[in-house]
């Protein structure tokens, strides 16, 4: 079995996977994991690791840390078809993963890698779903996890899982960008911590499996999803490149990355064909995509170009209206996830997607992840229902 390598997508420099690296020595870009001689052969394992030969072929079975993540369901609903105007739309529910979001798919691979490399500590900056997954998988592996949080703008609600799973919480002065900078400083000064932020290329490998699963069951014209730090955008493009180069698929579905209007630097970057992304001050109700300076923008552009993809933005109002429909359909999701469906409705209304197209939208997180936004409702008296 040939070992995987780390490769710079910009200058092509290569690095041994046993030399832990997140960015290129030569040009500073985030690295890719490449598997020479990759084969599309499935293992007997379940979920993400069914695709072991495409995500981490050389890892020893005993080093894998898994909670049987992946293998999530696709739902069809006449209510969602009516809402979007698309007859053939299905929703893939990533909220069904062990900690309630797709982040588990990346984390099982990254924490397995931490385990393979015999790390005793993991580190990430996050106040949301990344920290929940990092804390859970690290604890499950018997590895200590550290989560850096900015002192400002942190709700206990979002941090609850990380604390409950026993992560050590480190307070950082300033905002999320300061926390992210601290994390990078720590790993550049100390070899004791394994970094689990989106700079980690192994997370992308795990997240590719969302697309492998979809393509086994459907042949969509469009695949939509909310886009924040652009890890999924990057992973989905890479997965489709894998399947195309291995001859598993002929037709490539168009990726549809949806940003919130108040946090849409990638939308601007693609629309303006810009050289670099211009960071913005992010504001949106969809906290999981409230990101003003996404790290993965170059890999994400590659994904949009390869799939003739679309980047669209939707307002908070459109996101919340779409969430009500998904929730009332009995499916349910966290606010950011609803952007995936809101974007499809907008593109259908604008004539870019046709009512007869086959669409898969990815619901990235569980309805219980954010309970702060409750739609208005009326309490009934017992006498009123008789
Ligand atoms: C992380 C996250 C996103 C954003 O995904 P990116 O890969 O960062 O673009 C969207 N929705 C939920 C629920 C998330 O946890
Ligand atoms: Zn480089």
**How many Å apart are CA 316 and CA 283, to the nearest integer?**
10
- Measured from the Cα of 369, ligand 1's closest atom is 13
* Closest residue to atom 2 of ligand 1, CA basis: 288
Distance from Cα 337 to the centre of ligand 1, integer Å:
8
Beta strands in the chain (DSSP E): 5-7, 14-16, 32-34, 74-75, 88-93, 121-125, 144-150, 168-172, 193-195, 222-226, 254-260, 310-314, 358-363
pLDDT, tens digit, 9 for 90 and up, residues 135-149: 999 999 999 999 998
Of the residues 69, 96, 98, 102, which should be mutated to test ligand 1's pocket, given the most ligand atoms within 8 Å of the CB? 102
Q: What is the pTM of this model?
A: 0.97
Residue 352 is predicted with a pLDDT of: 98
Distance from Cα 295 to the centre of ligand 1, integer Å:
13
Of the residues 129, 224, 257, which should be mutated to test ligand 1's pocket, given the most ligand atoms within 8 Å of the CB? 129
At residue 155 the predicted structure's pLDDT band, cuts being 50, 70 and 90, is: low
pLDDT, tens digit, 9 for 90 and up, residues 70-92: 999 999 999 999 999 999 999 99
pLDDT, tens digit, 9 for 90 and up, residues 362-375: 999 999 998 887 88
Query: Taking 60 as the threshold, does the pLDDT of residue 330 lie above it?
Result: yes
At residue 96 the predicted structure's pLDDT band, cuts being 50, 70 and 90, is: very high
> Strands 222-226 and 193-195, how do they pair?
unpaired
Helices 156-164, 129-141: crossing angle, 10 deg rounding: 10
pLDDT, tens digit, 9 for 90 and up, residues 333-357: 999 999 999 999 999 999 999 999 9
Residue 37 is predicted with a pLDDT of: 85
């Amino acid at each position: 079995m040939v070992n995987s390598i780390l490769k710079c997508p910009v200058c092509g420099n290569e690095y041994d996977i046993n030399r832990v690296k997140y960015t290129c020595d030569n040009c500073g870009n985030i690295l890719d994991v490449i598997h020479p001689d990759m084969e599309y052969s499935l293992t007997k394992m379940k979920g993400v690791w069914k695709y072991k030969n495409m995500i981490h072929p050389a890892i020893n079975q005993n080093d894998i840390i898994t909670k049987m993540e992946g293998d999530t369901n696709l739902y069809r609903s006449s209510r969602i078809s009516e809402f979007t105007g698309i007859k053939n739309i299905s929703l893939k529910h990533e909220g069904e993963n062990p900690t309630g979001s797709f982040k588990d798919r990346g984390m099982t691979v990254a924490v397995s890698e931490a385990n393979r490399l015999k790390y005793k500590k993991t580190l990430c900056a996050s106040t949301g779903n990344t920290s929940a997954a990092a804390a859970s998988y690290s604890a499950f592996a018997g590895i200590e996890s550290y989560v850096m949080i900015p002192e400002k703008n942190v709700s206990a609600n979002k941090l609850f899982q990380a604390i409950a799973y026993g992560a050590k919480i480190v307070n950082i002065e300033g905002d999320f960008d300061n926390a992210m900078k601290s994390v990078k400083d720590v790993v550049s000064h100390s070899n004791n911590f394994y970094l689990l932020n989106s700079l980690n290329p192994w997370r992308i490998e795990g997240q590719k499996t969302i697309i492998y699963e979809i393509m086994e069951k459907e042949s969509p014209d469009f695949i939509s999803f909310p886009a924040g730090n652009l890890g999924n955008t990057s992973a989905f493009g890479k997965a489709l490149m894998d399947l195309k180069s291995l001859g598993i698929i002929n037709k490539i579905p168009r990726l549809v990355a949806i940003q919130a209007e108040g946090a849409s630097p990638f939308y601007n970057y693609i629309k303006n064909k810009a050289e670099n992304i211009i960071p913005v001050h992010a504001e949106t109700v969809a906290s999981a995509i409230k990101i003003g300076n996404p790290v993965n923008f170059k890999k994400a552009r590659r994904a949009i170009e390869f799939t003739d993809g679309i980047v669209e933005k939707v307002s908070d109002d459109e996101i919340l209206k779409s969430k009500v429909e998904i929730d009332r359909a009995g499916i349910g999701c966290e606010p950011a996830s609803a952007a995936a469906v809101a974007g499809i409705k907008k593109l259908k209304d604008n004539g870019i997607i046709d009512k007869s197209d086959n669409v898969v939208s990815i619901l990235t997180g569980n309805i219980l992840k954010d309970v702060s936004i409750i739609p208005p409702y009326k309490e009934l008296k017992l006498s009123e229902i008789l």
